[in-house]
Amino acid sequence: MNEAITHEAWQAVALTLKLATLTSVFLLFMATPLAWWLSQTQSRWRAAVGALVTLPLVLPPTVLGFYILVLLGPHGWVGQLTQAIGLGVLSFSFAGLLIGSVVFSLPFAVAPIQYAFEAMGKRPMEVAATLRARPIDAFFRVALPMAKPGLLTAMVLSFAHTVGEFGVVLMIGGNIPGKTRVVSMQIYGHVEAMEYAQAHWLAAGMVIFSFGVLIALARLKKRNDRVLP
């Protein structure tokens, strides 16, 4: 096994886990207020914002990655901003990879949280209001605890989706060992080099991981069905 999995492969695994963890954490904080707004608002912008959030589901990853690459590049407005404040260009860096991963996995975080908020109905918040709880207090003490299964599902999906990224990673991060080369790129590199034994070990690990994710999601769904009406 040690001969089959090289040092570069272990680097790719570590980088992938780091990327997936950070992406999941960022998405939890970003997706929760967005999902709450989408579940509660009657604004005419709801459909447009919802479509924008869902867009990464239907766009080819290379298309999404290309436009993010342009935005982060030296001539993009994000790239110009990061250069102006001394951060340099974020394309082909781990930071750029993180930005792309957050955008790419956003719908996988928003959808389950939004569903959890919608499924609990308006009654709990109305009861909290009759008890003179402030909206912000009711949100943290009533809505969030009731939406816990959705939050957990969002974390699992975001993590798993980030681990399996390829197209966006290729466009934004390239294939730099120890910096932007994640597991999917490492497998691709092994196949290109006809190193099938190394590719098998990593691919098998991905299959086992994916199976574990499906089991975890099934258990979360069962728990969600018990908690939500």
Q: State the 10-residue block means of pLDDT for the chain, 229 residues long.
A: 68 92 95 95 93 92 92 91 90 92 95 92 87 88 90 92 88 86 89 87 89 83 60
Residue 8: both structure tokens together? 């570069």
Amino acid identity of 123? R
Contact present, 184 and 166 (Cβ < 8 Å): yes
d(CA 177, CA 68): 21
- Using alpha carbons, select from 179, 178, 175 the residue that is nearest to residue 191: 175
Q: What is the pLDDT of residue 1?
A: 43
Residue that the structure tokens 């990327």 belong to: 19
1 is a domain residue: no
Return the CATH number at 42. Answer: 1.10.3720.10
Looking at the structure of the chain, the number of domains it has is 1
214 is a domain residue: yes
141 to each of 78, 145, 177, how far by Cα in Å?
37, 7, 45
99 is a domain residue: yes
2 is a domain residue: no
158 is a domain residue: yes
d(CA 64, CA 144): 31
122 is a domain residue: yes
Domain ranges, residue 43: 7-227
